[in-house]
Amino acid sequence: MKLQSSQYGKGRVRVVKIIREGAIHTVKELDVKAMMRGDFETSYTHADNSKVVPTDTIKNTINILAKDHLGHDAERFALYVAKHFVAKYPQIHEATVEVKERVWQRMGDQPHSFTAPGAPVPFCHAHVGAGGETLESGVSDWLVLKSTESGFEGYPKCEFTTLPETKDRIFATSCTATWKWSAHPARFGEANAAILAAMVKPFCENYSASVQGTMFEMGSAALSACPEISEIHLAMPNKHCLLVNLSPFGLENKNEVFTATDEPHGQIEATITR
């Protein structure tokens, strides 16, 4: 038997980098796949690991290089990573780095609050029956992120608690919001836009001590902005951005490089009424 071809590497390395230029932040979120080809035949045919760079090392390398070399252009970073592996290890003859990027767009002129293109997705639900009629509108997949002005402290702790308290963290969520109409506005589109704009304001401008606190502020703002709705339900699962520990490599990570994960996630929900 003959080994015809082979490659290996690491996929779904989810890197979040906050680029700070004074008070203005830029968020880069990448999904990186790095694949290696080279002198690895004996690792398949003779179970010889002497030339196999661990895929965990590949992941660590991507995170470490992101600290100093991930800027505004994902293309430059992908090329730098590929060149690094070929130059670093003589057994690697070819390296292919694929990057998918989630683009976070600034909310208006906000320096550190963002949303993603295609979000949110509007929906409505009408029900008519013997008990009368109900009409609801809302949005799903509303991706919002603030790169600072968020924390989580003062919670109960027990022997199973490992989460450290923090005054500064990334707050990211995929929000689903549903509001119930008690009267019909003159134009639903304009009313829905006003509700969303009202919810953006506390998210962007207020310090978030918790998702729960921000959720109540957003729901209250929606009710204040539109007298025709009687209640609003919000579901805001955390899209965690976990600080990468670079200390084993002699590097300090000052809230710059994170790994993105949404499984498992905190699921926070609430209904706010008048």
Q: What is the pLDDT of residues 12-65, one digit of tens each?
A: 999 999 999 999 999 999 999 999 999 999 999 999 999 999 999 999 999 999
For the cut 90, the answer to whether the pLDDT of residue 139 exceeds it is: yes
For the cut 90, the answer to whether the pLDDT of residue 262 exceeds it is: no
Q: What is the mean pLDDT of residues 230-243?
A: 96
For the cut 90, the answer to whether the pLDDT of residue 129 exceeds it is: no
Task: Please give the share of the chain, as a percent, with pLDDT higher than 90.
Answer: 96
Domain boundaries of the chain, sorted by first residue: 8-103, 107-273
Distance (Å, whole) CA 142 – CA 139: 7
For the cut 90, the answer to whether the pLDDT of residue 184 exceeds it is: yes
Q: What is the mean pLDDT of residues 234-250?
A: 95
Please tell me the CATH code under which domain 8-103 is placed. Answer: 3.30.1130.10
Backbone angles phi, psi at 31, to 5 degrees: -115, 110
Residues with Cβ within 8 Å of 237's Cβ and at least 6 positions away in sequence, in order, are 173, 174, 262, 265, 266, 267, 268
For the cut 90, the answer to whether the pLDDT of residue 177 exceeds it is: yes
Burial degree of 12 (CB within 10 A; 0-12, 13-18, 19+): exposed
Q: What is the mean pLDDT of residues 191-215?
A: 97
Q: What is the mean pLDDT of residues 167-183?
A: 96
Which residues are part of the catalytic machinery? 10, 55, 240
The pLDDT of residue 80 is 95
Q: In CATH, which superfamily holds the domain spanning 107-273? A: Urate Oxidase; (3.10.270.10)
pTM of the predicted structure, to 2 decimals: 0.88
Q: What is the mean pLDDT of residues 195-201?
A: 97
Distance (Å, whole) CA 151 – CA 214: 11
For the cut 90, the answer to whether the pLDDT of residue 124 exceeds it is: yes
pLDDT category at 118 given cuts 50, 70, 90 is: confident
The predicted-structure confidence for 150-170, as pLDDT tens digits, reads as follows: 999 999 999 999 999 999 999
